[in-house]
Amino acid sequence: MRTLIILLIALAPASAAAAAQSTLGHPDGWSVHMTGKNSAALLSDLKSAIASEKMGLVTEAGPTEAAAQRGETIPGNRVLGVFRNDFAVTIIRAAPAAMIEAPIRFMIMEEPDGTATLAYKRPSAVFAPYEATGGETLARAASDLDTIFAAITEKAVGE
């Protein structure tokens, strides 16, 4: 986990005010939103927001419970992979290699004060390395996903 946090900090920020206090740091291309919610409430609200934006919850994983089974204590952490098939079809046609990046992930990180931060790498940043191949079609899909992920975030954190 320590390696994951160091890696995330090395990546750099999106929202100076939010990330300045978050254990996640300020990763380039990321959108980071501190909340007053605990991680369980934020997780529930995030899942509702994903569904309301008609996106699919493709994966869900978290190291916290597994670490506890081994006697380790780490902050609450949950990663949710979110995507939708119409975007998959568009992206695989535009830039097949870009599909390695799907699903795009949201991360909930428990902060030392018991609140939780919601963060994600913006889809446009995720797909940027494939722009030369995917052209305008990929750029448009990434931009549309940026809008959807921002709407999900707004609903989940209550901004």
Q: Domains for the chain: give ranges and CATH numbers.
A: 2-157 (3.30.310.70)
Buried b (16+ CB within 10 A) or exposed e, 87-115: bbebbeebbeebbebbbbbbbbbbbeeeb
What pLDDT, in 10s, does the model give residues 103-158? 999 999 999 999 999 999 999 999 999 999 999 999 999 999 999 999 999 999 99
Mean pLDDT of the chain: 88
Residue 6 pLDDT > 50: no
What pLDDT, in 10s, does the model give residues 65-96? 889 999 999 998 999 999 999 999 999 999 99
